Copies of this chain bind each other. A is one copy, B any other.
Amino acid sequence: MKVIGWRDRLFRKLSTISPITPEEFTDTEKLKHDRRRYEADVAIEAALGIVAVVARGWCYRYRLLEDGRRTVFNFWLPGDLINLTPMAPGLVSHTAAVREAELVHIVDADFIAMCDASPALGAAFAANERLDNLLLANQVLRLGRLSAMERVAHLFLELWDRLSLVGLADGEQFPLPFTYGTLADALGLSNVHVSRTLGQLRDRGLIETKRRTVLLKAPQQLADLTEYDPIGTCIGPND
């Protein structure tokens, strides 16, 4: 059985957003790393001078308000790079695992040294930061100006796109490992309305859902509905 490791996922992602060859990527083999497992919904402790790559499972970045409201800023999928250096003593956002996840910890200084030594790697990780920024901007677009149904469609397309990039989608089908409550906090909706909206999308024959997976039955219609821009087209390597 072939195991796809975190380096494979990372390479697949980087190579679609930046021109980088497998040879240039081999430098990452030498990185000292430390694999750790995290329980669901427990804030992952910040670690000064550490970056991490998601090796298995999903994580999410969130913030709690005092009255219990929660905002989910984004999801981190396998192959995604997370900076674990704390922003400040009183953190404004936390990261936790959806259900369960494993992260590979890497010392920031080693990582930077590697990027300095290899221009291709440095450029690829710079593109990766631009992509993170784009994903946050997508989140602002969804919450700011899209209707409930458009939000769901847009987020599903984004997740499908990102999962396909790292080989975790099965055709038009992909896993959605979290609860509707978490989805609601990511979409700025109530869990009740998320349920209703998914029902509408099912009724229209645009999606199917079963046991924590989603099947996009009409990706093109969903894309038309929301003006979603695939990652490859909006941040890909310049021709």
Query: Interface of A with B (CB < 8 Å)?
Result: 61, 63, 65-66, 69-73, 87-88, 90-93, 129-130, 132-134, 136-137, 139-141, 143-145, 185-188, 227, 229, 233-236, 238
Contact = CB atoms under 8 A, between A and B. Distances in A.
Given A63-B137, A93-B137, 10 more contacts: A71-B145, A87-B130, A88-B235, A90-B229, A129-B129, A136-B140, A139-B140, A140-B140, A143-B143, A143-B144
B133 A92 contact: no
A136 B136 contact: yes
Contact of A88 (B88, B132, B234): B234
Nearest to A83: B130
A88 B236 contact: yes
B90 A233 contact: yes
Contact of A136 (B63, B129, B137, B227): B137
Determine how many copies of this chain the complex contains.
2
Contacts of A185: 144-145
A188 B143 contact: yes
A136 B238 CA distance: 26
Contacts of A93: 137
B88 A140 contact: no
Q: Which of A71, A129, A132, A238 has the most CB of B within 10 A?
A: A71
Contact of A144 (B71, B92, B233, B235): B71
Given A88-B235, A92-B234, A134-B92, A141 B229 contact: no
A93 B144 CA distance: 14
B92 A145 contact: no
A24 to B, nearest CB: 19
28 contacts: A61-B137, A63-B137, A69-B145, A70-B145, A71-B141, A71-B144, A71-B145, A73-B140, A73-B141, A87-B130, A87-B134, A87-B235, A88-B234, A88-B235, A88-B236, A90-B229, A90-B234, A91-B234, A129-B129, A132-B133, A136-B137, A139-B140, A140-B143, A143-B143, A143-B188, A144-B185, A144-B187, A144-B188
A145 B87 contact: no
